Amino acid sequence: MPITLNPNREKSLLRRHPWIFAGAIHHVDETHASGSTVDLISSEGHFLARASYSPISQIRARVWTFIDEPVDKEFFRRKIQSAIALRNTQHVTRNTNAYRLIHAESDGIPGLIVDRYDDVLVLQSLTAGSEFWKETFADLLAEETGIQNIYERSDADVRELEGLKPIVGILRGTIPDSKITINEYNLKFNVDIQHGHKTGFYLDQRHNRHRVGEFAKDRDVLNCFCYTGGFSIHALANGAKSVLSVDSSADALALLEENIALNRVRVPAERHTSREGDVFQLLRKFRDENRSFDMIILDPPKFAPTAAHAEKASRAYKDINLLAFKLLRHVGMLFTYSCSGGIDAALFQKIVASAALDAGTDATIIEHLSQGSDHPVSLHFPEGAYLKGLVCVKG
Ligand code: SAH
């Protein structure tokens, strides 16, 4: 039953990193079913960890526990209880009824994402291991949260690496026919959990949207990659002079218009314009037209899912940041983000610095931003810190 590692390949496990790559494995003494639980043993025969087995993934095993203990329903109940307790200590629900309840490796459950939208949970299973336990997770989530409605959005591309097909649909209870309306800092957003990106909304940017609101008063704002208008609505509700929202998705922009209408008491619709198009092209067009803004937000999709994409992605990040620096007025603010796992915070800052240099401008960082605290980062799994943000002021 156990999997034996090559000599000296136990080091990452001793540092409690939860991944074992195929190349670290010396010997598998039988054919394990996809997602089944296996023991990881050092070349000297010592127990190292108990893990889920992914037969076709390069990440061949992901650790459930470093202790010799049973991995069963009660084990996962304790993990889910800890994740809930962590959110309770953070008082996440003071500002919202939509937040991440389980953040995979960082909550000790590799492969499992669970987001809460009011009284519906959206579950995303990304690995063979989380797939193996999915029904148990659904039962436990219902038992521990009291929420009976669970929708599955296991349609992320990374499942392919695990040999898993996309699965979407109701796992437990019912879900509303219409979109779910959530609150975020007293603003409302309609979320389409069935067709929206990820599980429906970019929950990780919640406090960054709030931060934009705090600086938006009297500014002309350009929100690039706006999706359903999160940053735009926070800016408008907090006194922005104008907001121009750009996205290539017509569906996202349609939902943005709905969201503006939902917040009509606080959000003056006449100050807002949406524009469907490609940000790379539009920024160039705006530069050629000598347009300028007091605040620009750049929140692009993941250009570099892994380090292998870093070089090409770096060029794309530099391109949009350079153009943004050109379009900013003096003391204008740039909120710039990268959610790419393949680009770390130091590299991202270098890219933004070289963009400012090539734009011929000075700029100062006034804040470093990251994902919200409902997306925690295990100290032993630094990959969990995927969202980087800089607030720069043009000098
Ligand atoms: N800031 C948003 C999330 C942005 S997600 C929020 O807070 O909710 C990234 C968005 O970029 C998606 O909506 C996607 O449709 C859009 N997008 C991807 N490539 C694009 C491109 N080249 N030009 C314009 N929009 C693009």
Secondary-structure breakdown of the chain: helix, strand, coil percentages, each rounded to the nearest 5? 35, 30, 35
Q: Residue 209 CA: which ligand 1 atom is closest?
A: 7
Assess contact for 172 and 142: CB atoms under 8 A. Answer: yes
pLDDT tens for each residue of 62-97: 999 999 999 999 999 999 999 999 999 999 999 999
Place of tokens 């050109």: 326
pLDDT of 121: 98
Residue 48 pLDDT greater than 90, yes or no: yes
Assess contact for 159 and 165: CB atoms under 8 A. Answer: yes
Domains and CATH numbers, the chain: 3-65 (2.30.130.10), 73-172 (3.30.750.80), 202-394 (3.40.50.150)
CA–CA gap between residue 388 and residue 270 (Å, rounded): 32
Taking residues 179-201, report their average pLDDT: 98
Residue 255 CB–ligand 1 contact under 6 Å: no
Strand locations in the chain, DSSP E?
3-5, 19-21, 25-28, 37-41, 47-53, 59-65, 98-103, 112-117, 120-125, 149-154, 167-172, 180-184, 187-191, 220-224, 242-247, 272-276, 293-298, 328-338, 363-370, 388-394
Q: Residue 300 CA: which ligand 1 atom is closest?
A: 9
Q: Residue 202 CA: which ligand 1 atom is closest?
A: 8
Residue 349 CB–ligand 1 contact under 6 Å: no
pLDDT tens for each residue of 286-336: 999 999 999 999 999 999 888 889 999 999 999 999 999 999 999 999 999
Residue 202 CB–ligand 1 contact under 6 Å: yes
SS3 365: strand
CB atoms near residue 171 (< 10 Å): 22
pLDDT tens for each residue of 323-374: 999 999 999 999 999 999 999 999 999 999 999 999 999 999 999 999 999 9
Residue nearest to atom 12 of ligand 1 (CA): 227
pLDDT tens for each residue of 18-34: 999 999 999 887 789 99
Residue 278 CB–ligand 1 contact under 6 Å: yes
Which of 224, 226, 339, 392 is catalytic? The answer is 339
Catalytic annotation present for 224 = no
